[in-house]
């Protein structure tokens, strides 16, 4: 489900940002795949073993790898076709395959450790992983899986059938468990890309859909020391641009049993609202209620380009260490919508 943050500004300047999408658990009854017709399709090997940790953002790199399973291209194209079929039936344009590896990295992790959650074993939320993997837009995640007692996911056909069932569940059987959060994410008109994660063995298949609002082309690294710099061009009009900041506690490692229980077994939010960034001004300055308002060191925004720089230090001085996630929002059809995010890890 999409869950609003518990602490959001009530100022006219700030639209409440919702970056939460529910997770759904869809368990099948045990069954064996039986091919009809002549010969049974050749079996497909399980996903290779990855280096499961992304890395420790507060220390040295632990190393990670993103592993694409056999026939990933075929399975991903099938998944994309299912998504775009649902979007077309709703009168929406298609999404394209993202260059981000965030979806596959999380699918690898869930299969390797045997858990199911938006969080991972390092305590990272989807937007944190997306930032660490150099995402350049804004992301909202769907995750789903199917499990059997007997070997079932041994052919491309059996895995495509499972993916089709999971997509159908998220589209058509989502209201009771998840307040239609999956469906809303699939049918968000602003989404234009998706990072797909597919990982499996013979009895379990995981599907991750990291939907993106990917409209920015960035010219330089975003975080340098305590400075956050957003410089680039946008393919969507930048109107009434706003920068809002949320904070999460410093992530800690989570066990499988923790990930299977609340709050990690449900929807995620954006953290706690702590303020925003505005252009430098002297008189009549806009401010954020219920949070800190800081002036940017540099703020130059046109309809198609952005050049903003500010220091995260003032937030840290007041709110302490943790993960600060900056959302850049623009007005789309009367609503403030995120088109970029960046998580900054502060010790």
Q: What is the pLDDT of residues 106-138, one digit of tens each?
A: 999 999 899 999 999 999 999 999 999 889 999
Other beta carbons within 10 Å of 170? 29
Q: Which range, 20-29, 105-114, 282-291, 294-303, is most confident?
A: 294-303
Arithmetic mean of pLDDT, 72-86: 98
Q: What is the pTM of this model?
A: 0.85
More confident residue, 25 or 118: 118
Quick: pLDDT tens for 239-293. Answer: 999 999 999 999 999 999 999 999 999 999 999 999 999 999 888 788 999 999 9
Distance of alpha carbon 247 from alpha carbon 231, whole angstroms: 23
Contact 87, 150 (CB under 8 A): no
Range of the domain at 285: 216-346
The pair of three-digit structure tokens given for residue 320, joined into one six-digit string: 């302490």
- DSSP letter string over 84-107? HHHHHHTT-PPPEE-S--HHHHHH
Arithmetic mean of pLDDT, 152-168: 97
Is residue 313, in this structure, part of any structural domain at all?
yes
H/E element, 212: strand 204-213
Is residue 152, in this structure, part of any structural domain at all?
no
Is residue 88, in this structure, part of any structural domain at all?
no
Quote the pLDDT of residue 48.
Answer: 59
Give the sign of the dihedral formed by CA 147, CA 148, CA 151, CA 152.
negative
The pair of three-digit structure tokens given for residue 215, joined into one six-digit string: 């409209």
Is residue 168, in this structure, part of any structural domain at all?
no
Is residue 78, in this structure, part of any structural domain at all?
no
Is residue 234, in this structure, part of any structural domain at all?
yes
Number of folded domains that form the chain: 1
CA proximity to 312, closest of 300, 331, 299, 294: 294
Is residue 308, in this structure, part of any structural domain at all?
yes
Is residue 205, in this structure, part of any structural domain at all?
no
């Amino acid at each position: 489900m999409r869950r609003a943050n518990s602490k959001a500004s009530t100022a006219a300047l700030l639209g409440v940002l919702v970056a939460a999408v529910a997770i759904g658990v869809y368990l099948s009854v045990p069954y064996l795949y039986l091919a009809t017709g002549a010969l049974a399709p050749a079996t497909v090997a399980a996903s290779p073993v990855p280096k499961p940790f992304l890395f420790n953002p507060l220390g040295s790199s632990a190393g990670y790898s993103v592993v694409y399973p056999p026939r990933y291209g075929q399975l991903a194209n099938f998944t994309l076709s299912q998504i775009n079929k649902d979007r077309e039936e709703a009168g929406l344009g298609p999404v394209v395959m993202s260059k981000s590896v965030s979806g596959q990295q999380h699918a690898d992790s869930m299969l390797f450790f045997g858990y199911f959650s938006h969080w991972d074993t390092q305590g990272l939320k989807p937007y944190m992983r997306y930032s660490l993997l150099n995402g350049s837009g804004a992301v909202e995640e769907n995750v789903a899986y199917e499990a059997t007692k007997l070997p079932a996911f041994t052919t491309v056909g059996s895995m495509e059938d499972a993916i089709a069932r999971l997509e159908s569940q998220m589209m058509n059987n989502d209201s009771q468990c998840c307040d239609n959060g999956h469906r809303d994410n699939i049918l968000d008109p602003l989404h234009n890309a998706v990072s797909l994660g597919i990982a499996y063995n013979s009895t379990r298949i995981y599907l991750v859909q990291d939907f993106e609002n990917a409209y920015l082309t960035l010219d330089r690294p975003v975080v340098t020391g305590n400075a956050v710099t957003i410089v680039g061009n946008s393919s969507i009009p930048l109107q009434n641009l706003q920068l809002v900041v949320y904070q999460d506690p410093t992530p800690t490692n989570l066990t499988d049993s923790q990930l299977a229980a609340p709050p990690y077994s449900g929807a995620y939010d954006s953290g706690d609202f702590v303020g925003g960034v505005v252009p430098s001004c002297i008189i009549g300055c806009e401010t954020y209620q219920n949070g800190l308002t800081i002036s940017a060191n540099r703020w130059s925004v046109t309809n198609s380009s952005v050049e903003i720089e500010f220091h995260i230090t003032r937030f840290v001085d007041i709110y302490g260490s943790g993960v600060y996630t900056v959302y850049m929002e623009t007005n789309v059809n009367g609503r403030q919508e995120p088109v970029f995010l960046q998580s900054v890890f502060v010790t």
